[in-house]
Amino acid sequence: MPIRAGSNASASAARTAPSLAETAGPRPGGAIDRFAARLMGLSRWRRFGAAIAFGVLASLSVPPLYAAPLLWLAFPALYWLLVGARGGRAAFFTGWAFGFGFFVPGLYWVSWALTVDLPRFFWLIPFALAGLPALLGIFTGLAGLAFHGMRRAGWGGPLALAAAWALAEWLRGHVLTGFPWNLIGYTWVGWLPVLQGVSVIGIYGLSLLTVAAATLPATLTGPRRQGFAATAAGVALFAAIAGWGAWRLSGDAGGVVPGVTLRLVQPNISQTDKWSGDKRIENFNKQLAMSAAPGLDRVSAVIWSETAVPFTLSWEPEAQKALGAILPPGALALVGATRATPYGTEPLQAWNSIYAVDRAGTVLATYDKAHLVPFGEYVPLRELLAPLGIEKITAGSVDFSPGPGPRTIDLPGLPPVSPQICYEAIFPGAVLDPSAPRPGWMLNVTNDGWYGQTSGPHQHFAIARTRAVEEGLPLVRAANTGISGVVDAYGRVTGEIALGQAGILDAALPAALPETPYARWGDAGFWLLLALGLLLGRVGRPARGTLRPPAAGLP
């Protein structure tokens, strides 16, 4: 029932809830004030339900929809819900509920991978669909708790929430191997001028500024002049970033590396057929035939996706020779395949690798994936979990071993390259070897066939594009079922094979840019912004007091 001035419910709320007057200074006739008051006055379960709903709304901003304006609705609502939280525990669970609503639609595609072998893994689908968002929601819950501890009236409050959210994203990207997927900053992959900001402050810094600007309209419930000034400052900030980014994009027509043409092969082999015993040779030969299509004589390197060779290539010298046999003089094949210790050795070790093979079938170099997917490529705490029937979902009973980390590989006829396999490309600041000379390009091979026609492959491609802008390096991406493409150092796609299509793409290699500020200093810009946000977030009096609803009662 509505809370009305003078009622027992109002008196009870007055003893426990924060004050619109203290936090915002309401104007009873304003629609924004009434909406804010209603959110702050919600009871516990209604508050959590509203937080989930606004988290779902925020999820529409990330790839592939890029509905960035919705953040300017979702984050003020989160702010008001947190201000209305009665104690730290309520603030934590309000933040957790918002995160749960954000992650379920954003990461539903993870559960799709379990349908590839449904009889074995059907029972895990609910855990993947809801369990992973529930765990990731702990980070947004901690952000809500941190905000509760430092919330202030006026514009200091939105800055405090932005700092808490950004720190939670950074922690999510690093704790327990990290999973920095669908960071708020990825909203701007669909708005390239704004995305250029990551070349200076990285994706975590762009997330912080985005949440700050999106939350500042919450101050419109306070003194009119202050609220409009704060909101206008947020709009002006992103107008300035977009203007600078547009200028940056206009300053380069997109140069290429002379004499280098790459052929990307996307066979579009379904995951159920990829490792089928009677189709392995057929799948291998299909990719050989696609690679040998007309125009091969102009190609410097043929590139296949992650585990495109459906057997352990280090055990198959004849397959290595077959790869070399299709190549023109001076060209290389860069292919994904498993690598293992010699057959029969104990203990057996296996790696998820990229091979560089020349025309003679000689393996010139390999790169072993270092950042492995938990439960996909290995089982954490195997001694405890294996007796419970928990297995990795990829083929084979042997866990993959991790490689040594990012490497720069010199190959004949090509600029030095930094390889990444699958989701290694999602980790900002961890895609280049800091001890090696700067490479000329990045190579990402992946197999998103696990996720079908879901939003997952679109998100993966968008995240990988962001690494190109951060590092100022072109990115070449080969995927089994898509999305394969070539991305220049500004994040522009110069060539692409769409999701779910088979095909080849012959493309020039875009030129690298000079070292970006982010490439040189990493997350230093983010930490400076975070410190500033935490400092300014403490400005103003604490947001404490009593809930004072409009005279006519909360709607």
| CA dist., res. 351 & res. 328, Å (int) | 29
User: Buried (b) or exposed (e) across 475-503, using 16+ Cβ within 10 A?
Assistant: bbbbbbbbbbbbbbbbbbbbbbbebeebe
Domain boundary assignment for the chain: 31-251+521-539, 261-508
Q: Within 251-360, where are the H helices?
A: 271-274, 280-291, 317-325
| CA dist., res. 447 & res. 142, Å (int) | 33
> pTM for the whole thing?
0.90
Inter-residue contact 439 to 432 (CB < 8 Å):
yes
Output the CA–CA distances (angstroms, integers) from residue 485 to 11, 84, 301, 400, 440, in the order listed: 62, 47, 15, 27, 17
The residues that bridge with 357 in the sheet, in sequence order, are: 333, 363
Mean pLDDT throughout 244-272? 91
Domain at 261-508: CATH code = 3.60.110.10
Q: Quickly state the pLDDT bin for 356 (edges 50, 70, 90).
A: very high
Q: Quickly state the pLDDT bin for 403 (edges 50, 70, 90).
A: very high
Closest-CA residue to 171 (of 214, 123, 139, 144): 139
| CA dist., res. 477 & res. 353, Å (int) | 15
Catalytic residues: 306, 369, 422
Q: What are the backbone dihedrals phi and psi of residue 87, each rounded to the nearest 5 degrees, phi first? A: 110, 165
Q: With a cut of 60, say whether residue 19 has pLDDT above it.
A: no
Number of Cβ within 10 Å of residue 280's Cβ equals: 15
At residue 346, the pLDDT reads 83
Q: With a cut of 60, say whether residue 182 has pLDDT above it.
A: yes
DSSP 8-class letter at 176: G
At residue 390, the pLDDT reads 67
Residue-wise pLDDT for 469-500, tens only, equals 999 999 999 999 999 999 999 999 999 999 99
| CA dist., res. 10 & res. 4, Å (int) | 6
Output the CA–CA distances (angstroms, integers) from residue 480 to 76, 314, 483, 485, in the order listed: 41, 21, 8, 12
Q: Quickly state the pLDDT bin for 377 (edges 50, 70, 90).
A: confident
Q: With a cut of 60, say whether residue 543 has pLDDT above it.
A: no
Which residue would you say has higher pLDDT here, 330 or 15?
Answer: 330
Considering the chain, what percentage of its residues have pLDDT values greater than 90? 70
